[in-house]
Amino acid sequence: MIKKIINFFFIIIIFFLFKFKYNSINIDVGFSPGDTAKNIILKSINNSKTSIDIAAYSFTNKIIAKLLIKAYNRGVKIRIVADKKSNTGKYTIVKYLKKHNIKIKLNNKYLIMHNKFMIIDNNSIETGSFNYTKNAIYKNAENVILIKNKFNIIKIYKKEFNILWKESEKI
């Protein structure tokens, strides 16, 4: 009887170790001003291996832009959809990214394309109020949530990104 109980608990322990090691869902949350939101975004870009898809309302942050270019140069496929009205002024960084061969489209279908999310390697989604701007890091009250390995949510975001990509115009 004791041997059966020990075997039962052994099987349960192995099951949970396997489940959490190989199929764990990780969630990180950050806020700004401060470094937690910024660090989640920068770390996600730095750790990317295959692809980054970004939907951005406003994109003026040079630090993020330079990291995206570094990721592109190491073979990461990058696509960005940005709001057209918010990214035609002198402070936008989209033209700089385009000059560095980053695929960029501008969306003018809506009053504003107010999305702010990033799909990293098709296994993580970063979303929240955080615009990819200098003010979002240092002056605004913003939030970021990074969800890893929650594939049903990532699939929904990927579908939405592809719709935005399709309906947007190349610059």
Alpha helix ranges (H) inside the chain: 2-22, 36-46, 62-73, 94-99, 134-138, 151-167
Tell me if residue 100 is catalytic.
no
Per-residue model confidence (pLDDT) at position 60:
92
CA torsion 132→55→158→141, rounded to 10°? 40
Q: What is the pTM of this model?
A: 0.85
Q: Which of 114, 134, 148, 158 is catalytic?
A: 114
Q: Which of 38, 84, 105, 116 is catalytic?
A: 116
Provide, rounded to the nearest whole percent, the portion of the chain with pLDDT above 90: 75
Per-residue pLDDT of 48-102, as tens digits, reads 999 999 999 999 999 999 999 999 999 999 999 999 998 888 888 999 999 999 9
Whether domain 25-170 has CATH 3.40.710.10 = no
Per-residue model confidence (pLDDT) at position 90:
81
Tell me if residue 116 is catalytic.
yes
How is residue 34 written in tokens? 């401060």
How many Å apart are CA 136 and CA 35, to the nearest integer? 11
CB count within 10 Å of CB 2 equals 6
pLDDT exceeds cutoff 70 at 148: yes
Per-residue model confidence (pLDDT) at position 88:
85
Per-residue model confidence (pLDDT) at position 80:
98
Per-residue model confidence (pLDDT) at position 64:
96
How many Å apart are CA 148 and CA 86, to the nearest integer? 29
Q: Beta partners for 27?
A: 147
Per-residue model confidence (pLDDT) at position 89:
81
How high is the mean pLDDT of the chain?
90
Per-residue model confidence (pLDDT) at position 19:
52
Per-residue model confidence (pLDDT) at position 15:
59
> Where do the domains of the chain lie?
25-170
Q: Which of 43, 103, 121, 148 is catalytic?
A: 121
78-98: b (≥16 Cβ within 10 Å) or e: bbbbbbbbbbeeeebbbeebe
How many Å apart are CA 157 and CA 77, to the nearest integer? 17
pLDDT exceeds cutoff 90 at 135: no
